[in-house]
């Protein structure tokens, strides 16, 4: 609406609006909706519990969000990460309860848009509908890739794949610098993502770093030293993976 609006959407951590969000719809209406529903969540805060009723669409503007499910005995599986520019609607087939827990892993700015409002927005913009469908498709592709490795992959394969996936997603939003990036996860959480115990995550990553394939420091700043070899271990073609899990901009 005014330049303040644009500025408001731009976070201090992001030099620019996540390109995928701005590509959603050129109209100012989206920005208005996002801005008016924008909220900040501190790291670790839980936006929604598994099974809780949910009638909103979440647009992540900045920060990391995790979608997860837990077994009765407290084991947790992270189903997907939601990164800046992503849109998720956690509702199940019945369209009113969330099938997953939603948790901010870092400080996150999120537009929590009521489904009714969102539906109106979609109604008005075919671009936005296309964009949403693209985002859903890429989430499905990512989940499929991970399911393949959860079912059939070794620990090395799962870790290598997980890191490449995050590398590509972070690259797409300008958060990778010289093959170096940060993930706001503990080894425990990386294990919940890749289906491994935290102990085995540690062993596996140490093995990879001893082989000079990557480096990690205690802040979980990761540098990929040998992408070729990582891709080999993960069993992916990086270029192909990129087109299938990253929405075209």
156 contacts: CB under 8 Å, gap ≥ 6: 204, 207, 208, 233
CB 68 within 8 A of CB 77: yes
Q: How far is the CB of 245 from DNA (least distance, A)?
A: 23
Give, as one character, the DSSP assignment of residue 136. Answer: H
Sign for the CA dihedral angle at 2, 63, 113, 130 comes to: positive
Nearer to its own copies, 30 or 79 (CB): 79
Q: Does 182 bind DNA (CB under 7 A)?
A: no
Beta carbons within 8 Å of 31's beta carbon, 6+ residues apart: 1, 5, 6, 9
User: Which residue in the set 15, 218, 240, 248 belongs to the binding site for DNA (CB under 7 A)?
Assistant: 218
Positions 15 through 74 that interact with its own copies (CB under 8 A): 51, 67, 69-72
Q: Which does 220 bind (CB under 5 to 8 A by kind): DNA, its own copies, none?
A: DNA
Number of H helices, E strands in the chain: 10, 11
Q: How far is the CB of 87 from its own copies (least distance, A)?
A: 13
Q: Which pair of tokens denotes residue 238?
A: 């990086």
Choose among DNA, its own copies, none what residue 18 binds, the Cβ cut-off being 5 to 8 Å by kind: none
Among 129, 180, 182, 200, binds DNA (CB under 7 A): 200
Q: Which stretch binds its own copies (CB under 8 A): 95-103, 173-181, 206-214, 216-224?
A: 95-103
Among 61, 65, 110, 155, binds DNA (CB under 7 A): 155
């Amino acid at each position: 609406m005014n330049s303040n609006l644009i500025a408001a959407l731009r976070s201090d951590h992001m030099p620019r609006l996540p390109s995928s969000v701005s590509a959603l719809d050129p109209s100012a209406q989206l920005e208005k909706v996002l801005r008016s529903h924008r909220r900040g969540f501190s790291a670790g805060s839980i936006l929604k519990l598994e099974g809780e009723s949910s009638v909103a669409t979440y647009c992540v503007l900045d920060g990391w969000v995790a979608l997860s499910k837990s077994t009765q005995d407290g084991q947790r599986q992270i189903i997907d990460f939601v990164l800046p520019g992503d849109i998720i609607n956690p509702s199940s087939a019945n369209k009113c309860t969330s099938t997953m827990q939603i948790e901010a892993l870092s400080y996150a700015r999120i537009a929590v848009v009521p489904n009714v409002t969102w539906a109106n927005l979609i109604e008005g913009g075919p671009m936005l509908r296309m964009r949403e469908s693209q985002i859903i498709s890429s989430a499905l592709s990512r989940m499929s890739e991970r399911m393949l490795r959860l079912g059939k992959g070794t620990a090395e394969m799962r870790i290598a794949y997980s890191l490449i996936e995050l590398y590509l997603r972070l690259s797409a939003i300008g958060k990778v610098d010289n093959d170096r990036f940060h993930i706001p996860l503990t080894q425990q959480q990386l294990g919940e993502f890749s289906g491994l115990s935290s102990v085995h995550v540690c062993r596996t990553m140490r093995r990879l770093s001893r082989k000079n394939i990557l480096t990690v420091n205690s802040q979980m700043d990761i540098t990929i030293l040998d992408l070729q070899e990582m891709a080999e271990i993960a069993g992916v073609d990086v270029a192909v993976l990129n087109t299938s899990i990253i929405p075209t901009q």
